[in-house]
Structure 1
Amino acid sequence: MQFVCDIVAQAEEEDTATSSRTYVQRDREHALEIPKRDYFDENPTHGEATFRDRFWMSKRLCLKRVGDVEARFEYFQEGEDARKKKSFTALQKCTSAIKQLETGNPPDEFNDYLSMARTTSSECLENFCNVIIQIYGKEFLRRPTSHDITLLYKAHKVKHGIPVNGRLYKRGYYLTDGIYPNWSMFVKSFPYPTIPKEKAFKKVQESARKDVEIAFSVLKGKWGILRRPNRHLKLANIRNEVYTSMILHNMILKDDGNAISPVHIRDPPVEPVIDDNVLSELHDEATHISIRFNFVEHIARNTPDLDEDEE
């Protein structure tokens, strides 16, 4: 009996010692005053320019999104824990999540600043990503509509000047490098151009093709979590962080007036049509050659300093 009592006493001592090592008294209400003083009061320490530099968005947009998630999801609404202490506010939780996305640093980086434990910060990020996708995913992660594509074509033509020499082709195409096959939807550059027309085409094609690569570079440059080793083991969490970064990026572009297609105009519903000729049309090498030829001729005709004598 004495042996059992000794074991129980030892276990209680270990529990007490463990709890004294891990429990940290955090003043959540006082911690709220720090970000408010620095960024969110009427006369904060840091102005709008600094706020945008550190949050990648305007303060107005940030507060609007905080209000949206707080109004719609219980997790971000202020409450009390089992000890009758107030929980973190939506402003604190969203600030932690946005800063984790922006920096890509560990979730306990803002432990001192927000008085928020690592597990709570991780929980904030996970819930924030889920909420942003649920509220805004349909608008800012939508598949391009015919209206969007028309505006994208127009913007691309203004920047790069690449229609296809007045010819109309049934299928769309992608600007690609040399590893792709000679199919109608791929427009490749010349690996070793020898005449001025080919050289001019290669320069324009590669410049336009890099738009996609640059787009991902801009996204990674803005949201550090995309360029740092990911700590999550769950594929769903990693996917949601990528989607949330893309949504916020597109949202900021629209808010700043830089979106190519800021209005979502849906396409009318249509019945799917089965066309047995689609595959053969996409694999048609003759169309591939024709599109590239018309590209070359159009660029040559619109390049005034092209030295035709070298041909």
Structure 2
Amino acid sequence: MDQEDEAQNSRSIFRRCRLQRDQIDTGNHLYNDYFSDNPTFLGDYFRNRYRMSKSLFIGHAILSYEYQPKPDYFQYFDQRFDATGQLGFNIFQKCTSAIRQLAYDIAPDAFDEYLHMGASTSRDCLNNYCKCIIHMFAREYLRKPTEEDVHRLHAKHLEMHGFPGMLGSLDCMHWAWKNCPVAWQRYYHRGDHEGPTIMIKMVASYDMCIWHAFFGPAGPNNDINILNESDLFEDLLDGRAPEVRYTINGHEFTKGYYLVDGIYPEWATLVKSFKCPLEPKKYKV
């Protein structure tokens, strides 16, 4: 026992190094740069660095959210005292960290020199910020179109484009996956793209609102594979899709359709573009 006690006493005690981050001064500095009545950086700088206009910054909406009982991820953005008795980060610092991680796809501690915020705190800001966004806006924006939405889209597309029964435009694109794990890269890499990509299928309306999004699974994908994998037409197959009647060339229809390009199959709910040659050289009988 004596030898064990001596061995334990001889061990060096390593304490965690705590950086003296000045949250108060950095918070005031950030506020004066972008959020005060006379900010140092005006609207164009804010849009470039936050990837949004200042009117879309929802920090005040998070603080003033009155839902009771208030979820923990809303309470996270309240400015509190930490274990050492120092006042912590404010709402502007926490939201700035989360928004810039989303906007620039960078490491959590990339703005440590400016915000004086460590990596673990930045990750918590991003996690809680996303939960607040989903909680506040899921019912309005992260949902399927209702029957009222379908009627409004039909009327607006008819007014703007002259297309009765149109729900929106449907297409796929490759989204570059910069931080794809090495072990997965061969599953998400195609020869016609540099580096790994994820294929996403979206439906967008005239007002650039995305009504449907689906990320394709691993493997060689194209527009048809992604369409077959997604749940876009589940309501239509189950008979739950909203009914809207319209007539084209003397034929009456009861369901809407999407505009697509030439790769998609010949389905009644998909309308492809067609060439309208204006020069004799391009016209083929």
Scaled by the length of structure 1, what TM-score is found?
0.53
Q: Report the 3-state secondary structure (helix = DSSP H, G, I; strand = E; otherwise coil) of the residue aligned with 1:125.
A: helix
- Contact 2:26–2:116 at 8 Å: present in 1 too? yes
Residue 176 of structure 1: aligned partner:
260
Residue 117 of structure 1: aligned partner:
118
- 1:52 positional shift: 2.2
Taking a change above 3 Å as real, the CA distance of residues 42 and 120 of structure 1, as seen in their structure-2 partners, is: same
User: Which blocks of at least 5 consecutive residues in structure 1 are unaligned?
Assistant: 13-17, 190-201, 205-302
Match of 1:44 among 39, 43, 56: 39
Deviations 1:204-235 (A, max 9, x none): 8xxxxxxxxxxxxxxxxxxxxxxxxxxxxxxx
* Superposition map of 1:168-247 within 5 A: 168-189=252-273, 202-203=274-275
- 1:50 positional shift: 1.6
Q: Report the 3-state secondary structure (helix = DSSP H, G, I; strand = E; otherwise coil) of the residue aligned with 2:110.
A: coil
- 1:93 positional shift: 0.8
For the pair shown, the structure with the greater C-alpha radius of gyration is 1
* Superposition map of 1:1-311 within 5 A: 1-12=1-12, 22-62=17-57, 63-68=59-64, 73-163=74-164, 164-165=248-249, 167-189=251-273, 202-203=274-275
In the alignment, residue 98 of structure 1 is paired with which amino acid?
Answer: I
Deviations 1:12-50 (A, max 9, x none): 4xxxxx855642221111221221121012211101222
Structure with the larger RCO, 1 or 2 (CA within 8 Å, 6+ apart): 1
Deviations 1:63-119 (A, max 9, x none): 433434699821111112222122211221111111111111111111111111001
Q: Report the 3-state secondary structure (helix = DSSP H, G, I; strand = E; otherwise coil) of the residue aligned with 1:64.
A: helix
Taking a change above 3 Å as real, the CA distance of residues 132 and 305 of structure 1, as seen in their structure-2 partners, is: same
Instruction: Give percent identity, aligned residues only.
Output: 38
- Contact 2:63–2:77 at 8 Å: present in 1 too? no
Q: Report the 3-state secondary structure (helix = DSSP H, G, I; strand = E; otherwise coil) of the residue aligned with 2:76.
A: helix
Taking a change above 3 Å as real, the CA distance of residues 75 and 181 of structure 1, as seen in their structure-2 partners, is: same
Residue 192 of structure 2: aligned partner:
none
In the alignment, residue 53 of structure 2 is paired with which amino acid?
Answer: S
User: Which blocks of at least 5 consecutive residues in structure 2 are unaligned?
Assistant: 67-71, 165-247
Taking a change above 3 Å as real, the CA distance of residues 90 and 10 of structure 1, as seen in their structure-2 partners, is: farther
- Contact 2:63–2:74 at 8 Å: present in 1 too? no
The structure with the greater share of residues assigned to strand is: 2
In the alignment, residue 44 of structure 2 is paired with which amino acid?
Answer: A
- Contact 2:34–2:42 at 8 Å: present in 1 too? yes
Deviations 1:224-267 (A, max 9, x none): xxxxxxxxxxxxxxxxxxxxxxxxxxxxxxxxxxxxxxxxxxxx
Scaled by the length of structure 2, what TM-score is found?
0.58
